[in-house]
Amino acid sequence: MIDFITGYLPLLNLVILNCGLALSQYVVLRAGVFSLATAGLASIGAYAAGILILRAGVPTLVSVLGGAAAGMIVALILSLPLARLRGVFQAIATVALVQIILSVALYADDITGGANGLNGIPQLVGTPALLLFAAISIYGLWSLGRGRVGTAFDAIRQDETVAVSLGIAVARYQALAFALSGAIAGAAGALMACHNHSVVPEEFGFDMLTTVLAYVVLGGRQSVAGPVVGAVILSLLPEIARPLADNRMIIHGLLIMLAIIYLPHGIVDSIVIARRRAANGAAASVVTKAADGHA
């Protein structure tokens, strides 16, 4: 039994890390910021943690926090120019950013190890640490999402003019979304570094960018459960059948297209909306039944 569980731990760890990345992508999309920078921010967190551990001997926990902080700071810096751009251009700028970070990582050998990346990071991060990370991230985003922050994000995303007319300081909330996205991505990247012994630059490129986007497009970008569901499904899919694993990218591509065309709110949010509609429908029919009774 224990062997059964331990056999699946690596997969669980992978799923948790992917959930973290998904949450990072989710929070900006929920706030109507079309940032695809999560992969880049994660790589910054990974390098920051890796460098702290390998070059400065900083303990793991502090390094992970350092990674999160690095991600958050870069995201905040980014948010200033990005706030002034419309969605399409935010997308372009953030895709370009991921490329810049990749190029710089490959180029600055001395700091980043170039194409070889950073190696030999002691694996001091296991499932308990990852679960803690997941718990904190999910709880924090869930809590914020249920309150004013979530309300503001949803308003900004759906109709910015309305949000402004309600006194919502759009730029500030979007900066907050960026900061949260950066912190979670940075932490996830740092944990990846510590869990995988190494930081490999190519891991944080276009592949991760599109995969992370797929998590949120499939799962949904309003409820916190959305990105988690998307990440779990897409992480487990390759495990179910070999062909699914071999054709990962095609499947991501098809799912992205199918989801955005036929299920634009994502799985979780579509269910939420459908249930609400059903409940209202039921209530309405109760009302009409009552009316008929009196007619």
Partner 1 sequence: MIAQQILNGLVVGSVYALFALGFTLIFGVHHILNMAHGAVFMWGAFVGLFAVTRFNLPFPVAFVAAVVLAGLLSVALDWAAFRPLRRRGAPEFSAIVSSIGASLVLMNIAQRVSETRVLRYPFDTLPIEIYTLLELRVTLIQAVIVVSALLIVSALLIYLFHTRFGRQIRAVAVDERTATLLGVNPDFVYFQTFFISGALAGAAGVLIGIAFNAVHFLMGDPYMLRAFVVIVLGGLGSVVGALVAGLLLGLVQTLTIAYVSSGLSDAIIFSILFVTLLLRPTGFFGTLRRERRVARE
Partner 2 sequence: MATLKLSGVSRRFGGVQAVKDLSMTVEPGRITGLIGPNGAGKTTVVNLITGLLKLTAGTISLGDRDIHELPPYRVAQLGIARTFQNIRLLRNASVLDSIVAGCRQEEAVPLYAQALGLPAMRRARAASIERARALMAEMSMSEYGTHLAGELSYGHQRRLEIMRALALNPAVLLLDEPVAGMNDAEAEELGRVFRRLAARGIAILLIEHNMRFVMALCDEIYVVATGELIDHGQPDKVRANPRVIEAYLGGEAC
Instruction: From 60-68, 122-130, 191-199, 249-257, give the range in contact with partner 1 by CB under 8 A.
Output: 249-257
Of the residues 257, 279, 287, 290, which one makes contact with partner 1 according to CB under 8 A: 257
Interaction between residue 92 and partner 1 (CB under 8 A): yes
CB 83 within 8 A of CB 174: yes
Q: Which of 14, 255, 267, 268: binder of partner 1 (CB under 8 A)?
A: 255
Residue 217 near partner 1 by CB under 8 A? yes
- Report the nearest approach of partner 1 to the CB of residue 256 (Å): 3
Taking the least distance from each CB to partner 2, the nearer of 175 and 255 is 175
Pair 216, 230: CB distance under 8 Å:
yes
250 binds, among partner 1, partner 2, none (CB under 5 to 8 A by kind): partner 1
Q: How many CB atoms sit inside 10 A of residue 74's CB?
A: 22
Give the Cα separation of 135 and 141 in Å (integer). Answer: 10
Answer yes or no whether residue 252 interacts with partner 1 by CB under 8 A.
yes
195-198, long-range: CB within 8 Å, 24+ apart, which pairs?
Answer: 195/13, 195/17, 195/123, 195/125, 195/126, 195/130, 196/121, 196/123, 197/119, 197/120, 197/121, 197/122, 197/123, 198/50, 198/117, 198/118, 198/119, 198/120, 198/121
Work out how close the CB of 19 gets to partner 2 at its nearest, in angstroms, rounded to a whole number: 18
Q: Of 87 and 122, which CB lies nearer to partner 1 in the complex structure? A: 87
Name which of partner 1, partner 2, none residue 169 binds, using a CB cut-off of 5 to 8 Å depending on partner kind.
partner 2
Closest CB 166 distance from partner 2, rounded Å: 5
The encoded tokens of residue 145 equal 């999402």
Query: Please, what is the Cα angle at 13 between 12 and 16, to 5 degrees?
Result: 85
Output the six-digit token pair for 34: 């079309």
Angle ∠(126,127,132) on CA atoms, nearest 5: 105
Residue whose entry in the numeric block shows the structure tokens 């109760």: 286
Q: Tell me the backbone φ, ψ of residue 199, rounded to 5 degrees.
A: -120, 115
* Three-state SS at 187: helix
100 binds partner 1 (CB under 8 A): yes
Shortest distance, position 13 Cβ to partner 1, whole Å: 25
- The smaller minimum CB distance to partner 1, of residues 239 and 246, is found at 246
Q: By C-beta, is 42 or 152 nearer to partner 2?
A: 152
CB 153 within 8 A of CB 141: no
Over the window 21 to 50, marking each residue x when it contacts partner 1 by CB under 8 A and - when it does not, the resulting string is -------------x----------------
Determine which residue in the list 58, 73, 85, 244 makes contact with partner 1, applying CB under 8 A.
85
Residue 87 interacts with partner 1 (CB under 8 A)? yes
Residues that bind partner 1 (CB under 8 A): 34, 81, 83-89, 91-93, 95-97, 99-100, 103-104, 106-107, 160, 206, 210, 213-214, 217, 247, 249-250, 252-257, 260-262, 264
